[in-house]
Amino acid sequence: MDERTTISDLKLRVQKFCEDRDWDQFHNAKDLAIGIITESSELLEHFRFKSKEEMEGYFVDGHKREEISEELADVLFFVLRFAQMFNIDITQELIKKIEKNNQRYPVEKCKGANKKYSEL
């Protein structure tokens, strides 16, 4: 389904869902940013204090995989809603950020390393 769906399609679906419920009044920048971090934290809870083997097992366990997928979808929902509400072209911004990070993290300096660009 990812191959057939555009970000614009997803933003419109999120917009319709929220407008049908008259939620625009609750979706200011602060509250949407709080939603992103809250849902991100709920995603993180699944992995906190878990070993690599435990985490890998989550993706073969149907129930746990579904829980994790739902949390990831919640994060995406809030990201898309934020972008939709404030007219942010998320594709353009992601491409710009990758280009910026390409400069910060040149392959020859950072391949196989996990240091921040200021430490390279």
Tell me the pTM: 0.90
Note whether 25 and 79 are same-domain residues: yes
Note whether 49 and 81 are same-domain residues: yes
pLDDT at position 115 over 90? no
Rounded-to-integer distance, Cα 100 and Cα 83, Å? 20
The whole-number pLDDT of residue 119 equals 84
Note whether 60 and 95 are same-domain residues: no
pLDDT digits (tens, 9 = 90+) for 33-67: 999 999 999 999 999 999 999 999 999 989 999 99
Taking CA atoms, 110 is separated from 51, 94, 106, 114, 118, in Å, by 26, 20, 6, 7, 11
**Token pair of 98, please?**
């990758």
- How large a percentage of the chain has pLDDT more than 90? 92
The whole-number pLDDT of residue 108 equals 92
Burial degree of 38 (CB within 10 A; 0-12, 13-18, 19+): middle
Note whether 27 and 61 are same-domain residues: yes
Supply the range of the domain harboring residue 15.
2-85
Taking CA atoms, 73 is separated from 18, 26, 62, 76, 81, in Å, by 15, 20, 16, 5, 12
pLDDT at position 21 over 90? yes
pLDDT at position 73 over 90? yes
Helical axes 62-85 vs 90-104, angle rounded to 10°: 100
